[in-house]
Amino acid sequence: MNSHELVKELKFKAIRSSGAGGQHVNKVSSKIELTFDLANSKQLSERQKEILFKKLASRLTKENILLLSSDETRSQHRNKDLAIKRFLALITQGLKRPKIRRTTKPSRGSVLRKAENKKRTSVKKTLRKKPKLD
C-alpha cells in the first residue's frame, strides 16, 4: 500500500467551522471534511478492503465511504494535513495484523519455586496457630 497514491484518492471539502470565533469563523471555511471511497479504491487489494470493511464498519456510511473531519486549527492547510495524518493512521492501524498468542507451559523451575513458596507460606501460617493441648 503506497500512502502517497492513497492520498490521491481522497476528496476534500472546506466548510465553515462551528463554535466561537466571532466574525472570522463566519466568513472563513477552515474546517476540512475528508471523504474516502473504500469500495472503489484502486490502491487497496480486495483482501485489504475486506479487512477494513470489518474493522471500520462503525465509521463507514451506507455507501462504504469513510468520513473524517478536522477543525482543530484556524488554518485550512493545517487542518487538511491533520485529516490526512489521521486517515493514514486509521488505515495502517486497520491493516495491522494482531500478534498471534502462543500458549506456553510454565518452566519446571518456576513450578518448583511456586511449590516451595507455597510450602513456606503454609508452614509460616501453621506456626501462627495456638498449640493444641492433647
Architecture of domain 3-95: 2-Layer Sandwich (3.30)
All structural domains of the chain with their residue ranges: 3-95
* Cβ(69)–Cβ(34) below 8 Å: yes
Q: Is 28 exposed, middle or buried (0-12, 13-18, 19+ CB in 10 A)?
A: middle
Q: Closest Cα partner for 94 from 5, 8, 6?
A: 6
The pTM of the full predicted model, rounded to 2 decimals, is 0.66
pLDDT at residue 4, rounded to an integer: 74
- pLDDT given for residue 1 in this prediction: 64
C-alpha 105 chain-centroid distance: 31
Per-residue pLDDT tens over the stretch 42-90: 888 889 888 888 888 888 888 888 888 888 888 888 998 999 999 989 8
What does the DSSP assignment read for the chain? --HHHHHHT-EEEEEPPPSS-THHHHH---EEEEEEESTT-SSS-HHHHHHHHHHTGGGB-TTSEEEEEE-SSS-HHHHHHHHHHHHHHHHHHHHPPPPPP---PPPHHHHHHHHHHHHHHHHHHHHHSPPP--
pLDDT tens profile 106-133: 999 999 999 999 999 999 999 998 888 8
- Grid coordinates representing 97 are 495484523
